Amino acid sequence: MRKRAGLVVLVVALAGVQESVAETMRVTINKTRLYQGDVLKIQVIKKSTAPFIVNFLNREYKSFQLGKDQTVLLGIHYQLKPGTYSLTGAYEAGPNFFLPIYYRITVKERFKPKKYFPPKRPPEVQREIQARTDEFQTVFDKGDLKPLFSEKFSWPLRKIYIPSDGDFGDDRCAGRRIKKVHCRYHTGTDFRAAFDEQRSKPEKVFAINFGRVVKRGYYPNTGNVLVIDHGAGIFSGYLHLSRFLVKEGDLVKRKQIIAVAGNTGTNSIHLHLFIRMNDGKTTVDPMKFLQLLTK
Ligand SMILES: [Zn+2]
C-alpha cells in the first residue's frame, strides 16, 4: 500500500517534465468485468520494449513482447470465487518515472461450485487413477517461464465447428447421466475433427503457437494426449488423437501439424483442447482464449 502511494506521488511530481513520454504511452486492458474462465490481456502501447510487472491474487506476472506491445496474459480460473479483485503494477516509462497500473477486476459467476463424488471403484483402481492424474499434473510444474512465442495464436484445426455439447463448462458425467453426483465440468472445448460425410476421416491438428512438446502419452479418459508448453505459464493440450507427429522435447512452430485427431479414450472423432495459464495452475475457456488472442 505504502509503495503504491509513493508511486502516485512520483508521477504527480514528474508529470510536468515527462508529459511527452506520458502522451505517447498508454496502458490498456481488454476488460475489467468478466466471467470465470475468461482471459485478461494488459498491454503497454508504446514503441518500447521495457517489461513491466503486475500483481494479481498475490502472484506476479512479468510482461513479454507480443506483436508490437509489451503484454501480460493471465487467466481467471473457472472456479475463482466471484467478486472484485485488484490488479496493480507499475510501468517504468523513464528514469524515475513510473506509470502506475491499477484496475478493479470484477469476476462474475458462470460456473457454480460443483461437488464431485467419484463413482465407487475398488480402492486399488482408484489409487491407480489418482497416481496417473498426479503424474500428468507434474507436466505443469516445470514450465518455461520465458515465452516461446512472440506473435498471436492460431486455431488448432482447418475448420472450426463446435457441436452443441462441446462447450467449455458443460456437464460431464461418469457412467449414467442420472447420477448427478458423478458430474463435473467439461474443462476444455470439443471441436469437430472429421468433416467428411461419414465423419470418419480425422483432420490434422495444428499447434496453436510456438512451444515445446512436454507430454506425449496415453491415458484411459483422454486417449492419446499431447501437451505443448508455450512459455509464460501457458500450456495447450490436445486429446483423443489417433496419431502423433511430434515427440516429447520437440520445439514446434505455430500452425505446425503435430498430430491427427481421433477417438482414443472417447467414442466420436473430435479434438478436445484445453488451455492452462498462470504457470499451468489455471484452467480457462479455450474459446475465450483463442477469440482474444488469434486477432
Ligand atoms: Zn472434451
What the chain holds in terms of domains, given with CATH numbers, is: 2-108 (2.60.40.1930), 138-293 (2.70.70.10)
- 46 vs 26: which has the higher pLDDT: 26
Asked if pLDDT for residue 6 goes beyond 50, the answer is: no
CA 170–ligand 1 middle distance (angstroms)? 9
Ligand 1 centroid – CA 79 distance (Å): 18
Give residue 3's pLDDT. 43
In the numeric block, the cell 480425422 is attached to 202
For residue 136, report the distance from its CA to the centre of ligand 1, in Å. 17
Rounded Cα gap, residues 71 and 250, in angstroms: 26
Distance in Å, CA 263 to ligand 1 centroid: 11
Round the average pLDDT of the chain to a whole number and report it.
88
pLDDT of residue 1: 40
Q: Residue 222: what pLDDT?
A: 92
pLDDT band, residue 117 (cuts 50/70/90)? confident
End-to-end CA distance of the chain: 36
Q: Is the pLDDT of residue 108 over 50?
A: yes
Distance 221 CA to ligand 1 centre (A): 10
Q: Are 189 and 166 in contact (CB under 8 A)?
A: yes
Q: Cα angle at 154 between 44 and 204, to 5 degrees?
A: 165
Does the pLDDT value for residue 23 go beyond 90?
no
Position 212 scores a pLDDT of: 97
The band of 114, judged by pLDDT with boundaries at 50, 70 and 90, is confident
> Quick check: 128 pLDDT over 90?
no
Supply the pLDDT for residue 175.
60
Between the CA of 189 and the centroid of ligand 1 the distance, in Å, is: 6
At 110 the pLDDT is 95
Residue 167 pLDDT > 70: yes
pTM, 2 dp: 0.89
Q: Is the pLDDT of residue 10 over 50?
A: no
Residue 70 reports pLDDT greater than 50: yes
